[in-house]
Structure 1
């Protein structure tokens, strides 16, 4: 059902009548009196250039204070922001092992991807993570920002390109770091999960000297360390979402090492074996098998599934270690000028894998490696010895083929890392200077900064196939293990890469009242200039560039320079009506110019009730990954090879089973002629304070983005990929009897890849409501204070627009071909209930995510009975009927409890339980953003359900 705009008044009335609105900041905050005077303190709120005496802006802004952050019970900024009700589809979570930017975390307001949400540090731009989301979208890695360095987080839920430029389409997250600090604070914390893995340790020290008002300066530092242990799939495989055996659920057994009709009853198992594909009876005849270590497996045990391999290598949660340092100094200068200097180094090291199965001896002739070398496709074909071993031929050290026919080797490759593993050390450095003061009647803010993110990546688990089969054929490689380190290094080389992203900026803003009286109030004006230069130097690794290993990591090399001028005008033309106009003109050296105006208003007819609204144009400039020297491989859904599996059946005679229902690789290419994405956004809201202590806001939003930069595959209905194939070679071909295959050479070789360039195509339109309420109640007789807050978001519609066709995606799995992770629930909410009395402070937080369909209509999928395979690319029910209950991902609710108690005026005890009721992650058979190849939950939306109940205990001492 598609909701129309006319449903808004009814929704507003119902929400107000029920009181089911929530907030994270008072709707009518009182102005603060300056010490010893009556002049109210003025602040600059994210979304405006002009300071104001109250915080009820025409634009919706959610504020998280340092106290809110500490009471959340969370241990990282990424976990905290992921729970925002306004966060949606396209979020990049740290549990998404298959992401190009795995290990990092990005936020997607209104579900419009991380590229449409601008993240600022102290109101200024920050260098993006050098590994782009989906090898395309630049984002700031919020997982590297420490808790103790943050003063507050302001979430602007409105388009803001007229002030901040590119990327601020869905909104802005402004993370404000501490400006000054006095005294010393020591903190330590330890946490653990109930179900194993994930131990977390965190410690910090902060100290500062000097008082800005009395001493004229303040200098401080804060250091924080955090170590989070990994959670392996094996530590959760007793739960359905991490168990590969789906037979009890009406599906297939996908456990590694178990032969089924999906793998033609031939699969690597816990010990290598030789198979004679030309022998009588095929896989049904034990005489065609020789197991090289009979003590581990024999034919009967193999066919009974008793030689399975447990997934002890895949991650539910990566191992991470953070070391963070922030130093700052603020100095009062002459004539009320003030200089603030900050330097920070945030380092995060994580160990991630891409969710692939362990490296195995290739069951067919290996056709080579296709890779990208700075935009040039490199394909090494026909230089790998055949994996069919002739009678009497060596199959490694001490092993020969005993069959009278060519035999094939199956098994996992020993002595190497069991998975494709990347160890990322991300070092984020930032140096900034902010100068504020007054000159000639203008309030002036000048800033300059240098920011850089450097990633040192170390890769393991990849195979140099040429070296491997040469070593097998010359007898030096022992297929049972125990090979020399030198030989292992040649077969599975460990290699490294360094990737960097820098952004240097200059900002200058001046504001003043140009008329003391204009209608019912002053006319205020602000204008500014912005310059930044961004460089991204993320080359392909050395072995990837020459095609020696099949590493599909993306590469990006490019830069951009942006200059912009902008202005804002604010007036009160009539009593109780505030109006603001703003605009910005940007010039990019990559594509040209953009002009983005905006307007907003706030009308307060009575003291406790207001109406507000905004209109804004926005844009997202094409970045180096889209217009520079860049490229990547990607997969997103399953297809049937149009030649080798034309009818989609693995059992039809002549078909190649491995060519049925497989996810083909695409080579993503850039397009220097791309134009920016453009948007229009609107908000219309109410502000209401029915009684003292109860504050409510309700805002309707609508955002439409045109000219999307998307890959052509999956986004152009007329696009037919040109498949690049390898040479035809012997491969398993179905015989037609449903159980066996034979070895034959088909008419064409297998698909290696298809080219898919970036294009400007179609658009996205979303609209919904967001409600915020906060209530604070002081109990009688000094009984303490109760506080409650609810933040909720409902999506009326989320549509992909392709030509004249509009595809409704709200409440579905889509768009899986656009976002870094899928799942588009209509409703998200966060409810917080707190109690404070004296030294005791207790806070409970409930996070809710509604259910959604596993269908992705953006892929043309209409039948939920095939979503596991067609949308998720997984064979849970391949060849079977997918049960109807897997057509929907159930809703998910978690409760977090945080307790703080002041043991002494200086010593505070903190205890927290996350996922208090140990809710398990719901099954999502069609997810793309999951952790590991064998798991079936959405890691971006339901990661707490995979981690399970988590306990933590900490102490803080301040003096």
Structure 2
């Protein structure tokens, strides 16, 4: 039986009736843990309060919660949030533009719609934007031991915080003071190989704020996480490239199939005669052994080649990249006269990671390639590497090893020795932050002010790329040995290692004052006013070799800046007993586009102590950033097409078609648009808070968010868009004869597609609505047998609709929108359940994370047939030319369980053990995602990464004195 809940009252009633009140919010303390009332400022408000049950839903993760999670990084911790959804950026997406970094996407509205604050202030975004577009703060760079708590505001908050706070706010609060010294160390490893992790930290602090008037501390943390390679998981289906037993193709490198017309690079280079000498029509005969000359017959010959015996194993692509973190934070808090307090912090968080684009090794025989583009005074200038003819004349020398023995021009196939097995980037990201915050009272006002200078710097080193012109010159003059052992100088010319430096800075100043103005009704009328200023610069140029088209590097570049000034205010009142009302508004000026005004309102009504009703309304906006309106450009691919001229009917065997132009994923050049306007949103929440008994706190909140004026790339988001295809010169290539799979060498009417232009536009809308339910239950067992806590949080999406013009698409429970965020998928349900037990020195915590299944169809691409989702949505060739089995039309649900046990051996010494993915659940197949590890893997790295890592064990010690 299927129910369709179309209204809020029905939705709330259904979830309440089902008993699905689950979660772990920030609620009032129970009587057992009650402390003297203390006024605090909770994320989502500027006015301090004693009751932390705010009108907006806020989830709090304390330092203790973080330690009990068993996780070893903040990125892993936040990825499991039930409110995190489609468009999240995980470390498993090794091919991402922002590789090495992690970002959170609340309500599935991308990382650009979630604002991440540190101590309530903005932080410089990562220099490499997500999808080369969206700005975000890299949460993987923030160390565990520096965090006091994390507050997750699940409501629009642009009226207080400005741009980007459309879906919500994550406020990471760092430690303010620390006494004594704490040493900690842990080590972990995976059951299936790779991924060994080591972490150690030391924190020490002196001074007591109340007694000494100051506190100073330092915390240092180092963490090293080993890589997990795809080859170390080949025993699992999602990492195995041979799909024949599953009704698909063998897409292992070096294996000739119909997908590559039985011509593909192998483990040793070979010359191939593209025309059968006995056939004057020049029909390619790939079945004639006489048409092949292998450079190393002992390693590969025709018989081995056709039998798949010259396969090239992918030993380099990552499921999990190698990372190394070193983090230092120094802080000092000083009490000043007249109840003023000064807090100073300085931090350097450094992460070094080795990522690869999960591409095949560089090979001979490319006909052309797209290098890069630059914007000169706003005019797009193409940088396309010119490739000399890849045909070697009869009798021509090919490197030092081969001479073309055929009477016709021959082609060279094979992977290129001496230059590395794949495209690799060593990425050192250094985040620095220096801040000063002051709080106090002046003329009846509570005043909070802060200034800060923040910067993220990336030092990138690239390898595995080829300078094609130098390569073919070396082949033709006989200086290049195709079997390897070339001189370092020659290798450097053919495969240059090059680097680049990127920076993102954000300097800010904030000032907020609040006070009670008067008594109004049953309580005070409180006012808060504030001002904000920030200057942001992003200087992420293309590398020198990329900019001139010498290498085919698809990394994005962005150069631009913005200045934002804003004023804002908030009013809170209690006009009648137990009814809290609030309004707020903010006026922003950006020098890039103009002005925005965003109001908001909220209420909370608690007619009895055990029940409250709350709700919010908020407008929001996201200002166009330098990657969208500045001097920027990038290449991207996201789906497969058929060349409208060279493969008009989509068939590789139709006479006159070019097989390589069928079902291929073309590059697009992303262009900026200085006339973009901000995205604008309206959001609503309406919920209940219930405390029916001692120790039990529950809430249920309905949310609805609609974003208009989306900034999107035109390709994939505008059904009427026909790209301007930039083509290379027409050159001899295999053309289908119409007889079986036969091809003949010929020159087509036009050259191949190099790339298409796709500008940013303001177009369409996204609307999502659902419910989020939370509960926390704590009870003390009889006879002093300990304390049990149960916490659950769950999110259900009723709808996720994108619209362009008059056409709308329902994407909840589908793979879409696959043009955003790496086809991460859009499951309707996510939940997290935590069960804890504590008695004396023993603390046991089990956490269960659940993600529902979803369809691999993406209606937004016009894809309605699950028989082709792997190729048309994910750009994967698992079933190209075949019928995709029905069992790959849907992604199965995924549940992982984590166990953490801590025991205090002495009051100072604690031992901890954890097992992540306790039951070793395997990642389910997702054939339509492309945001995953390795060109051939078929799992969803954003949602199911623990299932690819497998069971993980860790053991640690902590000593405090």
2:180 alignment partner in structure 1:
183
CA contact (8 A) 2:633 2:671 kept: yes
Query: Following the alignment from structure 2 to structure 1, what is the Cα–Cα distance between the partners of residues 688 and 640?
Result: 46
Q: Which residue of 2 aligns with 1:425?
A: 428
Which residue does the alignment assign to 2:311?
Answer: 308
Call closer, same or farther: CA 1:48–1:5 in 2, change over 3 Å: farther
Partner of 1:119: 116
Give the Cα separation in 2 of the matches to 1:382 and 1:677: 37
Look up the match of 1:723: 725
| Structure-1 separation of matches of 2:386 and 2:708 | 46
Verify: 1:22 aligned to 2:10, yes or no: no
Which residue of structure 1 lines up, in the alignment, with residue 905 of structure 2?
Answer: 903
Aligned residues: 954
2:817–2:858 CA contact under 8 A, matched in 1 = yes
Deviation at 1:716, TM superposition (A): 1.4
- Counterpart contact for 1:371–1:552, Cα < 8 Å: no
Aligned to 2:320: 317
Q: Which has the larger displacement, 795-804 or 174-183?
A: 795-804
Question: CA deviation digits over 1:649-673, x for unaligned, max 9?
Answer: 1111111111000011111111110
Cα shift readout 1:662-717 (whole Å, capped 9, x = no counterpart): 01111111111000000000000000011001110000000000000001111112
Aligned residue for 2:594? 592
Compared with structure 1, are the counterparts of its residues 44 and 370 closer, same or farther at alpha carbon in structure 2 (3 Å cutoff)? Answer: closer
- 1:397 lines up with 2:394 in the alignment: no
| The 10-residue stretch of structure 1 (83-92 or 284-293) with the greater mean CA deviation from structure 2 | 284-293
Query: TM (normalized to structure 2)?
Result: 0.98
2:834 aligned counterpart, secondary structure: strand
- The answer (yes or no) to whether the contact 1:368–1:384 under 8 Å persists in 2 is no
- Counterpart of 1:795 in structure 2 is 797
Contact 1:821-1:940 at 8 Å conserved across structures? no
- Tell me the distance in 2 between the aligned counterparts of 1:137 and 1:608: 42
Q: Secondary structure at the match of 1:336?
A: coil
Contact 1:28–1:689 under 8 Å retained in 2 = no
Question: How far is 1:370 from its partner?
Answer: 4.8
8 Å contact from structure 2 (residues 273, 408) kept in 1 = yes
Residue 342 of structure 1 is matched in structure 2 by 345
Aligned residues of 1:465 and 1:549 also touching (Cα < 8 A): yes
Q: What CA distance in whole angstroms lies between the structure 1 residues aligned with 2:954 and 2:660?
A: 47
Measure the CA separation in 2 of the matches of 1:354 and 1:336: 55
1:935 aligned residue:
937
- 1:97: how far off? 1.2
| CA apart distance, 1:775 | 0.5
Equivalent in 656, 670, 685 of residue 683 of structure 1: 685
Conservation of the 8 A alpha-carbon contact between 1:31 and 1:53: no
2:848 is equivalent to residue 846 of structure 1: yes
Q: What is the CA distance between 1:15 and its match in structure 2?
A: 3.3
Deviates more, 1:414-423 or 1:42-51: 414-423
Question: After superposition, what is the alpha-carbon deviation per residue over 1:381-438, rounded to whole angstroms, capped at 9, x for unaligned?
Answer: 6843221111111111132111111111100000011111111100000000000000
> What is the rounded CA distance, in whole Å, between the counterparts of 2:426 and 2:340 in structure 1?
46
Aligned-partner Cα distance in 2 for 1:820–1:880:
24
CA distance in 1, matches of 2:32, 2:84: 31
Which string of whole-angstrom CA distances, capped at 9 and with x for unpartnered residues, describes residues 231-281 of structure 1? 111001111111110000000110111000000000011111111111246
Q: Secondary structure at the match of 1:334?
A: coil
Please, which runs of 5 or more residues in structure 1 have no aligned partner?
Answer: none
Look up the match of 2:281.
Answer: none
Counterpart CA distance in 1 for 2:422 and 2:461 is 13
Which stretches in structure 2 are left out of the alignment for 5+ residues? 279-283
Residue 803 of structure 1 deviates from its aligned partner by 1.4
Q: 1:833 aligns with which of 815, 832, 835?
A: 835
Measured after TM superposition, the shift of residue 791 of structure 1 is 0.3
Q: Quote the residue 1:9 is aligned against.
A: 9
Instruction: State yes or no: 1:47 paired with 2:44.
Output: yes
CA contact (8 A) 2:372 2:548 kept: no
- 1:296 is aligned to 299
Secondary structure at the aligned position of 2:580 is classed as strand
SS in 2 for 1:655: coil
* 2:365 counterpart residue number: 362
Q: CA contact under 8 A between 2:781 and 2:787: conserved in structure 1?
A: yes
Report the 3-state secondary structure (helix = DSSP H, G, I; strand = E; otherwise coil) of the residue aligned with 2:144: coil
User: Which of 707, 710, 716 is residue 708 of structure 1 equivalent to?
Assistant: 710
- After TM superposition, give the deviation of residue 3 of structure 1 in Å: 8.0
Report the alpha carbon displacement of residue 228 of structure 1 after superposing the two structures with TM. 0.4
2:736 paired residue number: 734
Pair 1:297–1:608, CA change in 2 (3 A): same
Of residues 489, 493, 499 in structure 2, which corresponds to 1:486?
Answer: 489
- Which residue number corresponds to residue 639 of structure 1? 641
Distance 1:2 1:625 in 2: 44
Q: Distance in 1 between matches of 2:541 and 2:554?
A: 12
Indicate how the Cα distance of structure 1 residues 367 and 585 shifts in structure 2: closer, same or farther if over 3 A, else same.
closer
Kindly indicate whether the alpha-carbon contact (under 8 Å) linking 2:670 and 2:757 is maintained by their aligned counterparts in 1: yes
2:250 is the counterpart of 1:253 = yes
| 1:546-593 CA-partner distances (Å, limit 9, x unpaired) | 110011111000000000000000000001000000000000000000
Written as runs of structure 1 = structure 2, the 5 A alignment for 1:298-697 is: 298-363=301-366, 365-366=367-368, 369-372=371-374, 377=380, 379=382, 383-515=386-518, 517-697=519-699
Distance in 2, matches of 1:563 and 1:408, equals 61
Q: Distance in 1 between matches of 2:528 and 2:99?
A: 40
Residues 96-151 of structure 1: CA deviation (Å, up to 9, x unaligned): 01210011000000000000000000000000000000000000000000000000
- Asked if structure 1 preserves the Cα contact closer than 8 Å seen for 2:5 and 2:11, the reply is no
Q: 1:476, 1:574 → 2: CA distance? A: 89
CA distance in structure 2 between the partners assigned to 1:651 and 1:526 by the alignment? 71
Structure 2 residue aligned with 1:914: 916
Q: Deviations over 1:894-918 (max 9, x none)?
A: 0000000001110000000000011
Q: Secondary structure at the match of 1:867?
A: helix
The range that moved more, 376-385 or 453-462, is 376-385
Pick aligned residue for 2:857 from 848, 852, 855: 855
Partner Cα distance (1:665, 1:509) in 2 = 48
Alignment of 1:194-273 (within 5 A): 194-273=191-270
CA–CA separation in structure 2 for the residues paired with 1:99 and 1:825? 21
2:163, 2:818 → 1: CA distance?
24
Cα distance, 1:949 vs structure 2: 0.4
SS at match of 1:548: coil
SS at match of 2:238: helix
Partner Cα distance (1:418, 1:653) in 2 = 36
Say which is worse superposed, 570-579 or 382-391, in terms of deviation: 382-391
**Bigger shift: residues 479-488 or 167-176:** 479-488
Q: Is the 8 A contact 1:27 1:697 kept in 2?
A: no
> Does the CA contact (< 8 Å) of 1:610 and 1:688 recur in 2?
yes
Provide the C-alpha distance between the structure 2 equivalents of 1:510 and 1:615, rounded to a whole number of angstroms: 23
Give the match for residue 166 of structure 1: 163
C-alpha distance 518-33 of structure 1, shift in aligned 2 (>3 A): farther
Question: Given the two structures, how large is their TM-score scaled by the length of structure 1?
Answer: 0.98
Aligned-pair Cα RMSD in Å:
1.6
Question: 1-side partners of 2:387 and 2:256: how far apart?
Answer: 27
Deviations 1:613-660 (A, max 9, x none): 000000000000000111111111110000100110111111111100
C-alpha separation in 2, matches of 1:465 and 1:786: 65
Question: C-alpha distance in 2, partners of 1:734/1:699?
Answer: 59
SS in 1 for 2:70: coil
The 5 A counterparts of 1:802-817 are 802-817=804-819
Task: Return the alpha-carbon distance in structure 2 between the equivalents of residues 546 and 80 of structure 1.
Answer: 41
Deviates more, 1:633-642 or 1:13-22: 13-22
Match of 1:140 among 137, 140, 151: 137
Displacement of 1:373 in angstroms is: 5.8
